[in-house]
Amino acid sequence: MTNDITAQISPKSKSPLKREKKKINMQKIAPYLFVSPFIIVFLVFSLYPFINSIIMSFQRISGFDETTFIGLENYKRLFADPVFYKALWNVTRYTFWTILILIPLPLLLALVMNNKNTKYKYFFRSIFFIPVLTSTVIVGLVFKFAFSKEPTGVFNSWLSYLNIGPIDWLNNSGTAMFALVIVCVWRWLGVNMIYFLSGLQNIPRELYECAEIDGASKWDKFKSITLPMIKPITTYVLTISILAGFSLFNETYVYWGAQSPDNIGTTFLTYIYKTAFSDGDFGYACTLGVIMFVIVVAINLIQVSVRGLFKED
């Protein structure tokens, strides 16, 4: 009799527990299901190519099946390659000039846009942001014609009013770098301004009010409150600027293609592209990619360490 009663009661008493347990298990599994697409994409399209590139950098590859392990030969060749040093010099100069312009100038614009007395600030924010929405290839083509060596080119036309020129902009090292930096500044000025603006708007107004009570000047408030409070934003902008500088490709390819005169427009990526897809030397192209990765990581680690972001506050 007792067994019959237990058999009738236990399924009903356990079913809510089972449902609760199943619900808890699903809650534990759900986060992994949501992030699994990203993890799969990362493993297939990022981690696997990265590891395979490191392996290929130690190989001589001629075709899809003809691979030969050659140890450090590609790296020895790279350190004796003058085109590699030319590409390194070009991207270093480009990164230096873009950082020199694209950190202080967007910060200044963000301060103006964050001022409550600035009129039409939302309109100007949109105007500054529009360039990044345009296609890099189209922008490069437009600026390529603007920097034409012909007297009818836009910049040569402007210089003609000063009795200067015409200048062969894209066949001279200095003016070619100027042409690259101008495109970058025009395109990314608004984006960096938005980054700094978001940082400025997160600074508590009470800090400025306390400083004003203590008699702090505008420069004192900027130096002692604004700059320290937007330090993470500045570091982020600096980091992506370094990465963008060393991965420059679209603008140089539109200007000169894979081969520029005297390599004045050669960057790491254009050299990798030419080595892999024009020369068919995939092993050496992977070596260039690995070295580029090492350089970018090293520079960013140094700048982050110098700025003290690894230190505990």
Averaged over 145-164, what is the pLDDT? 82
Neighbour tally for 73: CB within 10 Å? 16
| Tokens read off for 32 | 């992994």
* pLDDT interval class at 29 (50, 70, 90): confident
The CA distance from 242 to 188, in Å, is: 13
pLDDT of residue 312: 56
Does this model's pTM top 0.85? no
What pLDDT, in 10s, does the model give residues 124-140?
A: 888 888 888 888 788 88
Among 93-97, 146-150, 204-208, whose mean pLDDT is lowest?
146-150
What pLDDT, in 10s, does the model give residues 193-242?
A: 999 999 888 888 888 888 888 888 888 888 888 888 888 898 888 888 88
DSSP letter for each residue of the chain: -HHHHHHHHHHHHHHHHHHHHHHHHHHHHHHHHHHHHHHHHHIIIIIHHHHHHHHHTTEEEETTTEEEE-TTHHHHHHHT-HHHHHHHHHHHHHHHHHHHHHTHHHHHHHHHHH-TT-TTHHHHHHHHHGGGGS-HHHHHHHHHHHT-SSTTSHHHHHHHTTT-----GGGSHHHHHHHHHHHHHHHHHHHHHHHHHHHHHTS-HHHHHHHHHTT--HHHHIIIIIHHHTHHHHHHHHHHHHHHHHT--HHHHHHHTT--GGGTT--HHHHHHIIIIIS--HHHHHHHHHHHHHHHHHHHHHHHHHTTTTS--
* pLDDT interval class at 2 (50, 70, 90): very low
CB of 98 closer than 8 Å to CB of 180:
no
Look at strands 66-69 and 59-62 and give their pairing. antiparallel
pLDDT of residue 64: 67
DSSP letter for each residue of 207-239: HHHHHHHTT--HHHHIIIIIHHHTHHHHHHHHH
Among 145-159, 189-203, 261-275, whose mean pLDDT is lowest?
145-159
pLDDT of residue 82: 92
Per the prediction, the chain carries an average pLDDT of: 84
